[in-house]
Structure 1
Amino acid sequence: MSKKVSMKRIATELGVSVALVSYVLNGKMTDRINEDTAKRILDLANKLNYRPNQIAKSLKNNKTYTMGLIVADISNFFYSHLARYIEEEANAHGYNLIFGSAYEDPKRFENILNILIARQVDGLILAIPEGAEHCISYLKEMEIPFVLIDREFPQFEKITTINLDNFKSSKSVANHFLSQGFKRLGAVGLSTKLHHLQERKRGFMETALASLPADAVHSYEIIEEQLNEEIEHVITAAIHRDRLDALCFFTNKIAMAALPIIVKLNIKVPNDIAIICFDEAEAYKLFSCPLSYVRQPLQAMSNLAVNHLTDSGRRLESNHIKFDADLVINKSSLRV
C-alpha cells in the first residue's frame, strides 16, 4: 500500500504554504487565490492521489461524514433500489452510508437505530416499521437530524417526511380501469395500519365506489408473513367468487407472489383479468404479458432526503413532501 500523501508534501513540492494548499483543496477563499496556483495544487493532488484525512476533518468540523439509512425490508426491490440511490447521492456529497434492514420488525429497527446513533452518524433516513414509531419522540429529544422516507405518521406533524402521494396514485389506477370499461374492480394489499398503505387503499376504493356499486368493488388484505400461503386463495376468490375483471397489487412484493399463481392457474391477462402493479421490478419482464405499473420517482425522493440532511442552508417548503407517480400503461391493463 502506498504511503498516504499529506498537504505538507504537496506544499513542499510546489514551494507554497500548507495553508494555501488547505484552502485550495477545501474550496475556501477561491476568489483570493491565483487561478494558475490553484490549478497546480489540484493537478499535483490528483497526480499523487491525495485523499483527505477524514478523522482529522471529522474532529475539526464535529462531523463524521457518515449517514445512516434503515429500510423496512431490503429484500423488497423497492427498498434495494431506494438504498442504491441514497448511497449514490450521499457519496456525491462526500458522505459514506451505513445502512441496515429492519425487515418490518420494530425491535430489530430499534437495535439498528441504536447502533447508528452510537456510530455518531450526522443524519438518518428512516423507513420506520409499524410498532416502532415511538422512536420518533426519542430522536426529537436527542436532536438527531432525521427524515422519514416512504413512511408517515400523522400524529407527528412537525417531522420531515418524503413520500409518494399514495391516495392520488391509487386513484389514478382506479380511474384507468374505469376508463377502459372494467366493471368489477379489486385491489390486494397488506393487513397493516401504516398510513401510506391505508391511503393507497383509500384512493382506490373511494374512486371505484364513486362509479360502481359496492358489490362490484373488493379489497383483499393479507398478513405479510402469510403472503405466500394466502395469495392463491385471494386470486382464486377474486376471479371465481367475486368475478373481478381488473385487479391492482398494492406492493411489488404482493405482485411477485401473485404473478406465478396467475401463471399456475392458467389465468389469461388481460383477457380473464386486467392487472396493474405498484413499483417496477426486473422480474416483471419475464411475465408473458407486458405489465402496467405505478412508477415511483425513487431517485428524486432519495436525492431530496439526502439534500435535506446535508445542505445546512436548505429549507423545505413543507414538512410533508409528496411526490406524484407515473402510471406506466402496458397491455396488462388494456381492454381487449
Structure 2
Amino acid sequence: MRKRVSLKDIAHELGVSTAVVSYVLNDKYEGRVSEAKAQQIRETAKELNYTPNQIAKSLKKDKTFTIGLIIADISNLFYSNIARYIEDESKKHQYNMIFGSADENAEKFNELVQVMLSRQVDGIILAAPKGTESTLEYLKDQYIPFVLIDRHFPSIPDINTIGINNFQASYRVVEHIAKNGFRKPAMVTLSVDLFHMRERTAGFKNASKELLNILKPEVVEIDEEVLSGEIEDRMLKLIKDGVDLVYFSTNKIAMEGLAVLVKHNISVPREIGIICFDEADAYKIFHTSITFVKQPLQQIGQESVELLISLINGNQSAKSIVLGTQIIAGNSSAPH
C-alpha cells in the first residue's frame, strides 16, 4: 500500500517546518508566511497528492466536516437540481455531504435522520415530508443544527428555514395570465396536504377572484399515485369546458400534462395556454417555448449551506429567509 503523504513530507521537500505547511494548508498563514511561499507549498502538496486526514482533523476540531442532506423526493427535478448546488457549496466550505431521499415518506425520513446522526454529521439540510413534525421538534430540542428548505411547518416556530413565497408566486402567475388576455384559467395540482402547496393554490385562487372576477376558480387536484392514469381525462375535460390556460403547480405534473397535449395534437397557445411551476430541460423539446416560474435554486443551495455552517459554528438565532421567484415568459402564454 502506498504511504500516505503527510505535512512532514511536504515540509521536508521544501526545507520548511511542519508548522509552516500546516498554517498554509489550513489558511492560517497570513502574517506568518509570504504569499509566494504559500503558493509554493500548495503546489508541492498538489504534486505529492496530499489529502487531509479528515479523522484527525475532526478529532482536533470536534467536527466531522460532514453535512447531511435529506430531500423529499429525488424523482422531482427541483430536488435533484438543488442537491447539486448544495453539494457544490458544501465543497467550497470544505465540507463533505451525505445524501438521502425520503420519497415523501415520513417513516423513511425519520430513519434517514437517525442514519445521519449515527454518522455524526455536523448538521442537516432537510426538505421534510408531511407528518415529520415530531422529528423536527426532536432535532430542535437536542440543539442539532438543521435548516429546512422548500417546506414550511407553521406549528414549529423558531427554526431556520429557506424558501419562497408560494402564495405570491402564484398570484404573479395570474397577473401574467390576465395581462396576456386569458380569462378562464385552471390550475392542475397534486392532492397533498403540504403547507407550501396549499399556499401555491391559495395564491392562484385569490388572484383569480381579484384580477379575473372568477367567483369559483378552477383547481384540479390529482393524487400523485394515479397522476399518469388520470391526467389525460382531466386535461381533455378542461379543454372541452372552455378553459383557455392551464397552470401546472409542479414540473412533474407539467411533464405529464404536456405529453397529453402532444398525444392529441393540441396547439399551444392557440387552443390552450400553459404555465408551469419550476423549469425542466425537457421543456426545450416541446414544440412551443414554455412559460415557467423560476425558483432561485442556486441561491437556495448557497444560503442553506451558509446558514447551516453558521449554526454549526454556534449561532443560535433562528432565521427565516424568503426568496423571490421570476416568471420566464415563453410562447406558451403569449397574448391571447
Question: Aligned residue for 1:295?
Answer: 294
**Given that residues 159 and 318 in structure 2 are in contact (C-alpha distance below 8 angstroms), is that contact kept between their aligned partners in structure 1?**
no
| Aligned partner of residue 288 in structure 1, secondary structure | coil
How far is 1:2 from its partner? 4.2
Is the partner of 2:13 in helix, strand or coil? helix
Partner of 1:266: 265
- Residue 69 of structure 2 corresponds to 69
Q: Does 1:188 pair with 2:182?
A: no
How far apart are the structure 1 equivalents of 2:27 and 2:213? 65
Q: Aligned partners of 1:155 and 1:16: how far apart in 2?
A: 58
When residues 316 and 266 of structure 1 are mapped into structure 2, their CA distance, relative to the original with a 3 A threshold, is farther
User: What's 2:126 paired with?
Assistant: 126
* Cα distance, 1:16–1:227 mapped onto 2, change above 3 Å: same
After the TM superposition, which residues 129-208 of structure 1 pair with which residues of structure 2 at under 5 Å, given as runs? Answer: 129-208=129-208
How many residue pairs match? The answer is: 335
Aligned to 1:5: 5
Residue type of the alignment partner of 1:248: Y
Dislocated runs of 4+, deviation >4 Å: 312-318
Per the alignment, in what secondary structure is the counterpart of residue 210 of structure 1?
helix
CA distance in 2 between counterparts of 1:89 and 1:2 reads 31
What are the Cα deviations for residues 48-104 of structure 1, in whole angstroms up to 9, with x where unaligned?
121111110011111111111111111111111011111111111111111111111
RMSD: 1.9
- Secondary structure of 1:163's counterpart equals strand
| Contact persistence 1:70–1:125 (CA under 8 A) | yes
Shift of 1:42: 2.5
Could you report, residue by residue, the CA deviation over 1:246-278 in whole angstroms, capped at 9, with x for unpaired residues? 110000010011111112222211111110001
Corresponding residue for residue 283 of structure 1: 282
Q: Look up the SS of the partner of 1:294 in the other structure.
A: strand
Aligned: 1:256 with 2:255: yes
Question: Are 1:21 and 2:11 counterparts?
Answer: no
Aligned to 1:332: 332
Q: Distance in 1 between matches of 2:289 and 2:316?
A: 38
Instruction: Indicate conservation of the 8 Å contact 1:252/1:281, yes or no.
Output: yes
Match status 1:228 vs 2:225 = no
Q: Pick closer, same or farther for the CA change 1:178–1:6 going to 2, 3 Å.
A: same
Deviation at 1:311, TM superposition (A): 3.7
> Which stretch of structure 1 is more off in the superposition, 315-324 or 150-159?
315-324
Q: Which runs of 5+ in 1 are unaligned?
A: none
**What is the identity, as a one-letter code, of the residue corresponding to 1:276?**
I
Specify the SS of the correspondent of 2:211. coil
Tell me the distance in 1 between the aligned counterparts of 2:41 and 2:265.
68
Q: 1:40 to 1:282 in 2, by over 3 A?
A: closer
Q: Which amino acid in 2 is paired with 1:180?
A: N
Tell me: CA distance 1:224–1:15, structure 2 relative to 1, closer, same or farther (3 Å).
same
Maintained 8 Å contact 2:151/2:196: yes
Give 1:289's aligned amino acid.
T
- Give deviations 1:105-143, integer Å, cap 9, x for gaps: 111111111111110111111010111222110101221
Secondary structure at the counterpart of residue 187 of structure 2: strand
Mapped partners of 1:75, 1:270: distance in 2: 28
Structure 2: how far apart are the matches of 1:5 and 1:295?
46
CA change 1:318–1:186 in 2 (3 A) is farther
In the alignment, what sits opposite 2:48? Answer: 48
In the superposition, relative to structure 1, how do residues 193 and 329 fare at CA in structure 2: closer, same or farther (>3 Å)?
A: same
CA distance in 1, matches of 2:315, 2:294: 27
Instruction: Determine if contact 2:133/2:156 at 8 Å carries over to the other structure.
Output: no
Name 1:92's counterpart in structure 2.
92
Report the 3-state secondary structure (helix = DSSP H, G, I; strand = E; otherwise coil) of the residue aligned with 2:100: strand
| Equivalent residues in 2 for 1:310-321, closer than 5 Å | 310-311=309-310, 319-321=319-321
1:70·1:101 contact (CA, 8 Å) conserved in 2? yes
CA distance in 2, matches of 1:6, 1:219: 63
SS in 2 for 1:31: coil
Name 1:238's counterpart in structure 2.
Answer: 238
Q: How far is 1:233 from its partner? A: 2.1
CA distance in 2, matches of 1:110, 1:21: 43
User: Would the alpha carbon gap of residues 6 and 318 (structure 1) be closer, same or farther in structure 2, given more than 3 Å must change?
Assistant: closer
Residues 175, 207 of structure 1: 8 Å contact kept: yes
Distance in structure 1 (CA, Å) of the matches to 2:211 and 2:67: 47
Report the TM-score when normalising by structure 2: 0.94
- For 1:63 and 1:15, the matched residues in 2 are separated by 31
Deviation of the 1:154 alpha carbon: 1.1
